[in-house]
Amino acid sequence: MRHLLAAAAGLAVLAASACSAPAPPRSAAVPAAPTGPATLPAPTGPHPVGTTALYLKDTSRPDPWNLDAKARELKVTLWYPAEQRDGQRASYMTPKESELTLKGGRIAGVPDDTLSKTRTNAVKDAEPAGRKLALVVLSPGFTKPMSTLTSLAEDLASRGYVVAGIDHTYESYATTLADGRVAECLACDSDADPGFGTGVVAGRAADVSFVLDRLPSTWDGAGRIDRSRIAMVGQSIGGAAALAAMVRDPRVRAGIDMDGTTYARIPKGGLSRPFMFIGSPQHVPGGSDNSWERDWKLLTGWKRWIVLSGSEHQSFTDVPLLAGALGIKPAYGLLPAARAAELTRTYVAAFLDQHLKSRRQPLLDQPSSRYPEVKFCPGACGRS
């Protein structure tokens, strides 16, 4: 399935996979004239945002996808509250990453470097600000680079979080490593294998634990992190990995799965730490994906199950925001890109504020007239 293009109502930007939601048919995409470089929405928090990249090597295990690699190499992008608002804006992707991502997604008709021209809001290598900040680990969907969650990452950093986004090497179309090599998607050759999803989330959970181990010694600003307040958020297989990481590593106190089929088995005794599902209508009870129903009864702590009317698999990523730059017109009836970004940012931040900052969020207790697209499950949240 990896060659089927995942898209917000046919936004053919990045590939869906066997561990992602079913992709809409390509015919749903409506060609349009490219609008020029995409601009990510401004962060909503009070803090300027900085970003930097770390390159880590786990010599305790071989790479699961590259049989010639005796160690697991990872790129980790950090976003954080910064001292200054002015400075060089960080790149969204490199031109080569853009080229490989468009090629992998079979996007034609725009220059190869189109995605590299996306305008971000974070200042590259800015001086960190604040102290005792909660940490949020981000994990993207299969085939997608970490950059496709940049809008969410920048917003969380502006609200006072340190965000560590992990590029899970060889699981996306392009990851630039420390020496300049660009790792392509070796895992894409295995996505139809039995047990693929289970293996991916186990590997990603190991990546998360390694990053949590190494972060204090590899980032100068790590002393600003309160390591007793860590959460994980992911989209698609990255959301499934959030649950797997919580099962594996008690340091992850809370987690969010954004539209990801789950694979990790929760112990029979249940998982008592806070967890939230937020997804598209395929995840309503009785919908095409029943993994959330299976896991819901084993979540024994604070939990929420939210579905957004009009959303689809990529609505929780930057993908809809990139549509204009790629000459794709969203299909009628789809949740608009700006609104999808607003809802994702709002509900993810509310969850994190409640569980990492102990700030009660009534928004998470019941439906809101401000956000009528948000349905609370497993009650009256029928198909939308």
Beta bridge partners of 124: 51
pLDDT of residue 3 exceeding 50, the answer is no
Give the tens place of pLDDT for each residue, 244-299. Answer: 999 999 999 999 999 999 999 999 999 999 999 999 999 999 888 999 999 999 99
Q: Which carries the bigger pLDDT value, residue 218 or residue 11?
A: 218
Instruction: Give the 3-state secondary structure of residue 54.
Output: strand
* pLDDT given at position 31: 66
* pLDDT given at position 331: 73
Q: Average pLDDT in the 50-64 region?
A: 97
Range in 1-5, 173-177, 203-207, 368-372 the model is least confident about: 1-5
Does an H or E element contain 207, and which?
Answer: helix 196-218
Residue 213 CA to residue 135 CA, distance in Å, equals: 13
Q: Which carries the bigger pLDDT value, residue 2 or residue 139?
A: 139
Q: How confident is the model at residue 30 (pLDDT cuts 50, 70, 90)?
A: low
Residue 171 CA to residue 174 CA, distance in Å, equals: 8
Give the tens place of pLDDT for each residue, 80-89. Answer: 999 989 999 9
Contacts of 248 (CB under 8 A, 6+ apart): 205, 206, 208, 209
* pLDDT given at position 384: 42
Q: Average pLDDT in the 134-163 region?
A: 98
* pLDDT given at position 321: 96
The CATH number fitting domain 5-377, selected from 3.90.1530.10, 3.40.50.1820, 3.40.1710.10, 2.40.360.20:
3.40.50.1820
**Checking DSSP bridges between strand 49-58 and strand 72-81, what pairing results, if any?**
antiparallel
pLDDT of residue 347 exceeding 60, the answer is yes
* pLDDT given at position 142: 97
- Mean pLDDT (the chain) is 91
- DSSP, res 303: E
Give the tens place of pLDDT for each residue, 97-116. Answer: 999 999 999 998 999 999 99
* pLDDT given at position 329: 82
Place of tokens 């971000």: 120
Q: Tell how far CA 13 is from the center of its chain.
A: 15
* pLDDT given at position 382: 65
Range in 27-36, 220-229, 334-343 the model is least confident about: 27-36
Angle at which helices 237-248 and 196-218 cross, to 10°: 70
Tokens at 189, concatenated: 């050759």
Burial of residue 112, with CB atoms counted within 10 A of its CB: 0-12 exposed, 13-18 middle, 19 or more buried: middle
Give the tens place of pLDDT for each residue, 172-206. Answer: 999 999 999 999 999 999 988 889 999 999 999 99
Tokens at 301, concatenated: 């702590």
pLDDT of residue 7 exceeding 80, the answer is no
Residue 252 CA to residue 352 CA, distance in Å, equals: 12
- At residue 90, what is the residue type? A
Q: Average pLDDT in the 365-377 region?
A: 96
Each domain of the chain, given as residue ranges in start order, spans 5-377
* pLDDT given at position 35: 83
**Percent share of the chain, pLDDT over 90:** 84
Bin 327: left if φ > 0, else alpha if -120 < ψ < 50, else beta. left
Residue 179 CA to residue 177 CA, distance in Å, equals: 6
Burial of residue 209, with CB atoms counted within 10 A of its CB: 0-12 exposed, 13-18 middle, 19 or more buried: middle
* pLDDT given at position 233: 98
- Rounded to two decimals, the pTM is 0.93
pLDDT of residue 18 exceeding 50, the answer is no
Q: Are 116 and 35 in contact (CB under 8 A)?
A: no
* pLDDT given at position 352: 98
